[in-house]
Amino acid sequence: MAVYTIDWQATPPGDCRGGAVSIGNFDGVHRGHAALLAELRRQADALGVPAVVLTFDPHPIELLRPGQAPPRLTTPEDRSQLLLASGVDQVLILRTTHELLALCAAEFFTEVIRKRLQARVLVEGTNFGFGRGREGNVTTLAALCGPAGIGLTVVPPLLLDGMEVSSSHVRAALTAGNVHTAATLLGRPYRLHGLVGSGQRRGQKLGFPTANLEQISTLIPGDGVYAVRVLHGGTLWPGATHIGPNPTFGENARKVEVHLIGFQGDLYGKPLAVDFLKRLRDTRSFPGMAELAEQLRRDIEQARQAAG
């Protein structure tokens, strides 16, 4: 298993050619993606060829409409590892360029799928779009695959309780602070990565030191207090995370503050990965430090229980 990042004009490594291929952004690698990738694995095994995912970085919308791209659910590194964990043999990342995005559907099919990937079979979802302006769809793809002798399997959407599992539904759940629904759609807790920066050290004075998470490149869940697990240095710690402003201290800036239950040591400058387990309460103001400290004690006990 391997992850490769190449220019779209380049010839992919040999273990990425002649395989069963699925193409998409795969942001979040949610349970709908997992169903598609399971079919990709079956097709690859039936033909005795590698299962290859072709994806893109950055997201095409980031080039076409800067500032309008939806926030990512996964870092490129997490996305690649989740794809491999789903049973894929190779992850091939094309560097997104305006030249690549200018290819019409037929050109993308000829240049990327046929010439460079030499795909034997394609596995896509019903909403698959490709080529300039997403002009191509699965009907277009079927018309191109037939004469080329390339198989095509279209996987229907996965429904959970009548809801289609999609990256947009995961984003909506997280924005609302509903991390339980997000985890159900993802098949795992939502994970946030960041680097610990400096803070006001108020939590330390209250007896509950917090790490201020900065340089976060993925979607931050809605304001509130959450039970979490925190990965640091190869160890998972139970924790509590506060997202939002600090109205008790008259601060309006939105922050992500993480308390690792039982941890002793300096986290400044260290990377943390935070898995969201349960939303505990809203962000709110307290009359004074004593009331805030008492609420933090209750929050941490709830978080400890939620983290098991």
Distances (CA, A) of 236 to 80, 89, 228, 233: 21, 28, 10, 8
Are 33 and 107 part of one and the same domain?
yes
Where would I find the H helices in 6-72?
A: 31-47, 60-64
Distances (CA, A) of 256 to 3, 25, 76, 156, 240: 31, 27, 21, 37, 11
Question: Which of residues 120, 143, 160 is at a domain's end?
Answer: 160
Say how many C-beta atoms besides its own lie within 10 A of residue 180's C-beta: 15
3-state secondary structure (DSSP) of residue 274: strand
Backbone phi and psi for residue 118, each to the nearest 5 degrees, phi listed first? 50, 45
Residue 183 maps to a domain: no
Are 126 and 206 part of one and the same domain?
no
Which residues of the chain, if any, have pLDDT below 50? none
Distances (CA, A) of 237 to 178, 192, 262: 22, 14, 8
Are 28 and 149 part of one and the same domain?
yes
pLDDT of amino acid 64: 85
Torsion of CA 111, 113, 119, 120, to 10 degrees: -100
Residue 168 maps to a domain: no
160's tokens: 């959970």
Are 214 and 78 part of one and the same domain?
no
pLDDT of amino acid 207: 63
Q: Range of 270's domain?
A: 189-306
**For the domain that residue 200 is a member of, what is the CATH number?**
2.40.30.30
Are 195 and 154 part of one and the same domain?
no
pLDDT of amino acid 148: 97
pLDDT of amino acid 246: 80
Say how many C-beta atoms besides its own lie within 10 A of residue 123's C-beta: 26
Are 25 and 104 part of one and the same domain?
yes
Are 8 and 146 part of one and the same domain?
yes
Question: Which of residues 160, 179, 197 is at a domain's end?
Answer: 160
Q: Are the CB atoms for 167 and 138 separated by under 8 Å?
A: no
Residue 116 maps to a domain: yes
Report the alpha-carbon distance of residue 212 to residue 268 in Å, rounded. Answer: 9
**For the domain that residue 143 is a member of, what is the CATH number?**
3.40.50.620
Are 54 and 134 part of one and the same domain?
yes
Are 153 and 195 part of one and the same domain?
no
| pLDDT digit string, tens, across residues 252-298 | 789 999 999 999 989 999 999 999 999 999 988 787 778 888 888 99
Peptide bond before residue 58 is cis, with ω within 30 degrees of 0: yes
Residue 170 maps to a domain: no
Residue 172 maps to a domain: no
Report the alpha-carbon distance of residue 152 to residue 138 in Å, rounded. Answer: 9
304's tokens: 């400890």
Question: Which of residues 123, 142, 160 is at a domain's end?
Answer: 160
Distances (CA, A) of 87 to 161, 165, 172, 215, 223: 26, 19, 27, 30, 35
| pLDDT digit string, tens, across residues 86-99 | 999 999 999 999 99
CA dihedral sign, ordered 24, 26, 30, 34: positive
Backbone phi and psi for residue 81, each to the nearest 5 degrees, phi listed first? -70, -35
pLDDT of amino acid 249: 62
Cβ neighbours of residue 122 under 8 Å, at least 6 residues apart? 20, 21, 22, 23, 113, 141, 145, 150, 151, 152, 153
Are 207 and 151 part of one and the same domain?
no
Report the alpha-carbon distance of residue 41 to residue 86 in Å, rounded. Answer: 9
Residue with tokens 């869940």, as numbered in its chain: 221
Residue 285 maps to a domain: yes
Where would I find the H helices in the chain?
A: 31-47, 60-64, 76-85, 98-101, 105-108, 138-148, 167-175, 179-186, 202-205, 289-306
Are 45 and 145 part of one and the same domain?
yes
Residue 17 maps to a domain: yes
**Burial of residue 31 (number of CB atoms within 10 Å: 0-12, 13-18, 19+):** middle
Give the predicted TM-score (pTM) of the model. 0.93
Domains contained in the chain, number: 2
Residue 179 maps to a domain: no
Are 93 and 215 part of one and the same domain?
no
